[in-house]
Structure 1
Amino acid sequence: MKRILTIALVAVFALGAFASAQAATEVKMTGDAFVYGTFNANQNFTGWSTGSWDNNNGGYTGAGTQTEDRFQIWERFRLRTDFVANEAVKFRLGIKVQDTWGHGTFTAANPAVSIEVYQAFLQFKLPGCDIEVTAGLQDLSLPQTAFFTDSVVFGGDRAAALVVSSPLIPDTLAVTAGFARMLDKNRTYDTTTTQVADEFDVYFLTLPITLEGFKVTPWGALGVAGRDANYFTAGSYGPNSSFADSLLSAGTFLTPTGMRNAQNAYWWAGGTFEVTALDPIKLYADVIYGAGNQGDRKKDQRSGWFIDAGVEYTGWDVLTPQVFGWWSTGEDSSNRNGSERMPSILSNWGPGNSFLFDDSQELLKQGNMGVNPIGSYGIGASLNNISFIEKLSQRVTFVYLRGNNSPNAIRGLNALMGSNPYFTMGRDLTTNEYVMGANIDTTYQIYENLSAVMETGWAHGQFQTSVWGHRLAAKSREGDAWKLAAGLVYKF
């Protein structure tokens, strides 16, 4: 590990020294280091693995083939280096090392080299104006109120993209337009002399409007999905899920399988709303509609709504009470008429750092249950920013949700495919199922840049035997899911 990091740092400093010599480039470094242990019991509500896709042809391994290892120690190191030519031009390089103790990079002898580039982008302003261009591998999110962490469509992750931002009316109206290539299976050459549509591209436009006491951001996104992109094996939200789960309909797996068209359009339109005019009472909401494959066979189409809302009171110094809720369309009783759930790409949505969702966990590995907010509805409450003791802050959150999906839709696909990754028990809920969860998170600021963090979680679910089968449903009733994660976080 020391040898690997030394090589990486030498390379970064060498680049910085070269740049300084050539153009008086200023080098700025920031980063973070996490070391924490996680104890998880009954992950995926069973303690067994969920289903997973084995290849891009739709081959898969069913759920319940592996058992959990309840305790692991994770370590992550990230270094972000900005090469700043002047106020208008910079390049950022971000590298990351992440694994468990005793595995890969952190093996005692002959460690595997696993340095990952997670940011690499050029950012500059056009001469004589405030138009900013960012090109390269960067953090990217579609709009969503920060109350719910990040976007339920695509949020909080990296993408190779070109993004252009410009103010139109200072402090009032701006515009951001962008293009991202999410997937390109074959890169330069297709596998034969026959060209195939193996890319998935996304174009987006946002118009944030800020007025006194009110902010609204209308936005839209258009995706062009090639039939032969690697939707099954490219990662998406939550444990063991993929773009196939979040974009395609269940009807895709019915005969004739797959999409008919070489390319299909996906689109999303929405708005975010923040009202602070009633301060210290603040209101938040998001409304989104999305659709895809509308020109393909009826069974391959997918469309639906997602709505959330929250309110918080910020008038107290010692805590911030919050309440919230959401609603999303779910599957009807037939898979032959397509999907009624809103398509998504990569969700990073969740209120109150909830243990149920893949959202804002600081100790993120094995940090949540990966429940899908799309196709469900629920309510919750959080006591945020609890601070009665200096340097100690806490958060307590409780969430209850039910499914909006017809049992017949999930039961029908499970009858056809057996246990499969598209529908997962505990992640995708029927109208007869519910999940509830709570988390208590604590941060103690040891020094300005060093903190001790502890995150705890509990989840209980009720699942239908007739939908998931006796083996999985019975196993879920043997005990609730628990998480305890604790460690050190250093940010510099």
Structure 2
Amino acid sequence: MRRLLSLILASAMAICLCTNAKAETIVKARGDMRVYGTYFANHNFTGWNSTGTKTEDQFEIWQRFRPRFDFEANKNLYFRLGLKVDTIWGYDTYTAANPTAALMVELAYLQFKYPDTDIQVAAGLQFLSLPQSKLFNSSVVWSNPLAAVVVNAPLIPETLTAQFGFGRLLDTNRSFDNSTTQVGDELDAYFLTLPVTLDGFKATPWAMVAVAGRNANYALKNSNDFPDLGGTNFTNTLFSAASYANMTASSKLGSWKNSQNPYSWFGGAFEVSALDPVRFYADVAYGAGAMGDAKAARRHGWMVDAGAEYTGFTVFTPQLFAWWASGEDKSTGNGSERLPYLRSQWGAGNSFLFESDQALGRNYCAYARPVGNYGIGLSLANISFVEKLTNQLTFAYAHGNNAARALRTARTYSASYMTMGHDLGENESMFGINLDTKYMIYENLAAIVETGWAHGQFQESIWGHRLYHQAESNGNNEWKVAFGFTYKW
């Protein structure tokens, strides 16, 4: 890994120094680094992994660095390369003896404007998020790097823009299938957004269609996920319980009749600032997939959220938010009634309940799923009584929207499809508090403390005696304290 980094940096320096008669390439470097320790007690409320087969290690020291290089030919053309190492001390790259490389390419894309127009094209591995109103961190359906081609075309200057593109999430067999019979082993997505900006109002309708092949490897773990802590891969987020239960060892969806099934999503993000300093936010999303397949394989559902904030105070910004997402009915034989999604970083107020890109972003929350529940929250953001010191205090309450019978049945299919503390039955709930503090030592160096606590109420009849009573022995509580530094350049 050291040799690779040295080669990349040396190449960047060489390009900076070299010119030719036709053009000069300028290399700009930027990035960020964070290092922090996290003490987390009672993961999954039990102190075990989500299936109750492993015990937790309560203290870890994480380090991430992400250098980014922009190779600019001119103001209309550049290539961006982003690298990342993100793991714990004593493991992979940060092992004292015989370290193994954990370097990954996070971004690698070309971006340019079509000559004599304002149409912008980006092609390659790039960060993409479907629209979400500003109060909520990011999209509930997709928010992650994606290998894609994306076109931004202004239709009405400063008022209406069209963004559309194509991305390939999975291609399991690459160039050749495993036999002379062609199979559906890809997951492709097509998307469109139409942001409309008016004085005091912004609305962004959006839509996405994906084509899911039965033979794609949906069990691949996302690099940002923690399956043992409730993190997800596509098997949990896209499919019904019956489809998941009938997945073969090769990850083929054995319950699907069709070689390929379409998934579709549509929604909108809305922001109102006309009554400033009071601002309003709202989102709506609907998704459905495999609706032409067997009844048990279908999945469809809704999610809506809304919030408001008051920006007129100088020392803090109060924010109020709420959400509702459809949940499972009593039967798994008629498919799933939860919104299918791909990769979510949805959340508000850095809530300890949800994964929403907190500053110290590993092993940092309760990992509640954003679907199948409803709730309300209050956040005091940007609290500042001392120069360079800011705080955020957030309270959030989530209540289950899933029928207990459906959760019990799903658990008989697989103990990891629905997990305690991440999926909530209709008589279950969680309450979470977090207090996050940032002190700017320098303009680009911050010391950060994040604290969080969650308390849950669960049903023994859903999760079983062993998990239920282990959580009860911990008071149905989990909590964390994290301290570290972030540096941006």
TM over 0.5: yes
Match among 179, 182, 202 for residue 192 of structure 1: 179
Pairs within 5 Å for 1:337-486: 337-417=334-414, 420-479=415-474, 480-486=477-483
Does 2:311 match 1:303? no
Q: 2: distance between equivalents of 1:21 and 1:433? A: 69
CA positional deviation for 1:46:
1.1
Matched with 1:141 is 129
Amino acid at match of 1:425: M
Q: 2: distance between equivalents of 1:184 and 1:19? A: 39
CA positional deviation for 1:334:
0.2
CA positional deviation for 1:218:
0.7
Structure 1 residues 237, 298: closer, same or farther in 2, change over 3 A? farther
Structure 1 residues 415, 290: closer, same or farther in 2, change over 3 A? same
Q: 2: distance between equivalents of 1:334 and 1:237? A: 32
Q: 1: distance between equivalents of 2:153 and 2:314? A: 36
Partner SS for 1:252: helix
Match among 204, 208, 217 for residue 221 of structure 1: 208
Pairs within 5 Å for 1:147-166: 147-155=135-143, 157-166=144-153
Q: For residues 437-487 of structure 1, give each alpha carbon's deviation from its aligned partner in whole angstroms, at most 9, with x where no partner exists.
A: 010000000001111011111011111111111111111112211111110
Contact preservation (8 Å) 2:310, 2:317: yes
Partner SS for 1:472: helix
Structure 2 gaps of 5+ residues are 247-252
Contact preservation (8 Å) 1:236, 1:345: no
Match among 237, 241, 261 for residue 250 of structure 1: 241
Amino acid at match of 1:99: T
Matched with 2:331 is 334
Matched with 1:100 is 88
Contact preservation (8 Å) 1:399, 1:437: yes
Q: 1: distance between equivalents of 2:435 and 2:168? A: 38
Deviates more, 1:383-392 or 1:1-10: 1-10
Structure 1 residues 423, 248: closer, same or farther in 2, change over 3 A? same
Q: For residues 404-452 of structure 1, give each alpha carbon's deviation from its aligned partner in whole angstroms, at most 9, with x where no partner exists.
A: 00000010122344xx211111111100100110100000000011110
Partner SS for 2:416: coil
CA positional deviation for 1:23:
2.9
Structure 1 residues 22, 253: closer, same or farther in 2, change over 3 A? same
Runs of 4+ aligned structure 1 residues displaced above 6 Å come to 19-22
CA positional deviation for 1:196:
1.0
Q: For residues 63-87 of structure 1, give each alpha carbon's deviation from its aligned partner in whole angstroms, at most 9, with x where no partner exists.
A: 1111111111111111100001111
Q: 2: distance between equivalents of 1:447 and 1:16? A: 28
Structure 1 residues 14, 98: closer, same or farther in 2, change over 3 A? farther
Contact preservation (8 Å) 2:192, 2:206: yes
Residue correspondences, number = 477
Does 2:114 match 1:126? yes
Does 2:196 match 1:201? no
Q: For residues 109-139 of structure 1, give each alpha carbon's deviation from its aligned partner in whole angstroms, at most 9, with x where no partner exists.
A: 2221222110000000001100000000000
Contact preservation (8 Å) 1:238, 1:371: no
Q: 1: distance between equivalents of 2:151 and 2:179? A: 36
Pairs within 5 Å for 1:234-273: 234-235=221-222, 239-240=226-227, 241-253=232-244, 257-273=254-270
Partner SS for 1:147: coil
Matched with 2:64 is 76
Contact preservation (8 Å) 1:159, 1:180: yes
Amino acid at match of 2:46: T
Q: For residues 322-351 of structure 1, give each alpha carbon's deviation from its aligned partner in whole angstroms, at most 9, with x where no partner exists.
A: 010000110000000011111000011000
CA positional deviation for 1:236:
8.2
Amino acid at match of 1:292: G
Structure 1 residues 19, 370: closer, same or farther in 2, change over 3 A? farther
Matched with 1:26 is 26
TM-score, normalising length from structure 2? 0.95
Q: For residues 154-196 of structure 1, give each alpha carbon's deviation from its aligned partner in whole angstroms, at most 9, with x where no partner exists.
A: 01x1000000001111111111001110111111111222211
Amino acid at match of 2:288: A
Contact preservation (8 Å) 2:12, 2:27: no
Matched with 1:9 is 9
Q: 1: distance between equivalents of 2:25 and 2:184? A: 42
Contact preservation (8 Å) 2:411, 2:417: no
Q: 2: distance between equivalents of 1:476 and 1:135? A: 47
* Percentage of pairs with the same residue: 53
Amino acid at match of 2:116: G
Q: 2: distance between equivalents of 1:205 and 1:236? A: 26
Structure 1 residues 236, 301: closer, same or farther in 2, change over 3 A? farther
Pairs within 5 Å for 1:102-117: 102-117=90-105
Match among 164, 169, 176 for residue 177 of structure 1: 164
CA positional deviation for 1:10:
2.2
Q: For residues 244-296 of structure 1, give each alpha carbon's deviation from its aligned partner in whole angstroms, at most 9, with x where no partner exists.
A: 11100112146794211000110011011100001000000001111000110
Q: 2: distance between equivalents of 1:83 and 1:318? A: 41
Amino acid at match of 1:370: Y
Amino acid at match of 1:245: N
Structure 1 residues 19, 408: closer, same or farther in 2, change over 3 A? farther
TM-score, normalising length from structure 1? 0.94
Contact preservation (8 Å) 2:303, 2:371: yes
Matched with 2:249 is none
Does 2:44 match 1:44? yes
Structure 1 gaps of 5+ residues are 51-62
Contact preservation (8 Å) 1:238, 1:370: no
Contact preservation (8 Å) 2:384, 2:391: yes
Contact preservation (8 Å) 2:236, 2:244: no
CA positional deviation for 1:45:
1.3
Contact preservation (8 Å) 2:15, 2:26: no
